[in-house]
Amino acid sequence: MPKAVGEAQGKISGRIIIEQLIRNMELGQFEMGYSVLAPCIFSLYLHPDDYTRLAGVFDLIRQDAKQALAARLAQLNTKPLGLAALRGAKDRKPYKIAGKDWAFEFFPDSEGAVPLGDVEIHSELNETPQPGYHGTKTTLLDREPSVGGITGKTSISGRAGVRPETRQSGDRVHAEIRYEDDSGPQLYLMTQDEISVGRGGDDAQVSLALYTNDEVSREHLRVRLDATEKRFVIVDKSMNGTWLNGKRLARGVEETLPAKAQISVAEVITLQFEARP
């Protein structure tokens, strides 16, 4: 996948923000029995300098974004022609949004997680978080200088079993976890003393949801900060195993997690863990 850098670093444009909103909407689709829901509530985090520079045009970006997302949704609902129509007519589901309209809120990043020229987008299906869906998070992290080929978190901040964390300015970040799943390169900031990691599900709420195949358990592992002993610990809770720096963990047994470590999740996804001082 191509790498991501903002357009003329530090000069993120309204066009790129709208492209990322469309990408987030596409990645955040939630398929049901007879239709496909797309997220329509978006929270956008910008570097403070970018936020200040663009603050005067946020309303115009909102207007253009509504038009662009509505046009993309209409395009997804366009009936195919010719043989494609015959092959897919029976299984084709309409795309729609669960909310009354598209909504966008812009925030300055207060944690230093969003670099200049980047945008981090969190989305939901509607104003009320839906069971079995935890929203989508996308970033411009690791983009090529060209506009095409955008990779992301998407934070999909998912599908089942978790809502993306709403980052609070006062939250202390204990550690960061970098990884790449089916939705692209991701950065997760650990602000809780204990987190669960896995695919998630209605019966398995997780803090960090991985978008991948079912080799990864719904709740695959847990990471905990032991404040008394000033260390992190990790415990495997999976069927297909967790490896810490190449060594497979015994299921259900806590192990000390070094300040810097590689965590292999079912040998499918590698988490790069790094404690924050």
Sheet holding 194-198, edge to edge: 208-209, 194-198, 221-226, 231-236, 255-257
Same domain, 66 and 8: yes
Same domain, 66 and 146: yes
Sign of the Cα torsion 94, 98, 99, 100 reads: positive
In a domain, 90, yes or no: no
Same domain, 201 and 104: no
Domain count of the chain?
A: 2
In a domain, 210, yes or no: yes
Same domain, 137 and 262: no
Tokens 């000390």, residue located? 256
The CATH number of the domain where 267 resides is what?
A: 2.60.200.20
169 burial via Cβ count (<10 Å: 0-12, 13-18, 19+): exposed
In a domain, 256, yes or no: yes
- pLDDT at position 90, please? 55
- pLDDT at position 4, please? 33
**Cross-strand pairs, 97:** 38
Question: Does 257 have pLDDT greater than 60?
Answer: yes
CA atoms within 13 A on the CB side of 52: 5
Q: Which of 165, 190, 212 is the last residue of a domain?
A: 165
- pLDDT at position 267, please? 95
Question: Does 214 have pLDDT greater than 90?
Answer: no
How large a percentage of the chain has pLDDT more than 90?
45
Same domain, 20 and 121: yes
- For residues 250 and 242, give the distance between their C-alpha atoms in angstroms, rounded to a whole number: 8
Same domain, 70 and 49: yes
Same domain, 161 and 241: no
pLDDT tens-place string over residues 28-60: 888 878 888 899 999 999 999 999 999 999 999
Q: Who's near 86: CB < 8 A, 6+ residues apart? A: none
Same domain, 219 and 122: no
Same domain, 251 and 268: yes
pLDDT tens-place string over residues 262-274: 999 999 999 999 9
In a domain, 46, yes or no: yes
Sign of the Cα torsion 43, 139, 203, 223 reads: negative
Among candidate residues 270, 276, 106, 258, the one with its CA nearest the CA of residue 197? 270
Which stretches does DSSP call E strand in the chain?
30-31, 36-38, 41-46, 95-97, 103-108, 119-124, 136-139, 175-181, 184-190, 194-198, 208-209, 221-226, 231-236, 242-244, 247-248, 255-257, 260-265, 269-275
In a domain, 88, yes or no: no
Range of the domain at 144: 1-82+95-165
- For residues 219 and 24, give the distance between their C-alpha atoms in angstroms, rounded to a whole number: 24
The whole-angstrom distance between residue 126's C-alpha and the CA centroid of its chain comes to: 16
Average pLDDT on 92-103 reads: 89
Q: Which of 146, 165, 184 is the last residue of a domain?
A: 165
Same domain, 179 and 129: no
Same domain, 231 and 117: no
Q: What global pTM score does this model have?
A: 0.50
The CATH number of the domain where 25 resides is what?
A: 3.30.2320.60
Q: Which of 135, 165, 195 is the last residue of a domain?
A: 165
Mean pLDDT of the chain: 79
In terms of DSSP bridges, do strands 255-257 and 231-236 run parallel, antiparallel, or are they unpaired? antiparallel
In a domain, 47, yes or no: yes
In a domain, 89, yes or no: no
In a domain, 192, yes or no: yes
Average pLDDT on 139-157 reads: 35
Same domain, 159 and 29: yes
- pLDDT at position 158, please? 32
Buried b (16+ CB within 10 A) or exposed e, 30-66: beeeeebbbbbbbbbbbbeebbeebeeebeebbebbb
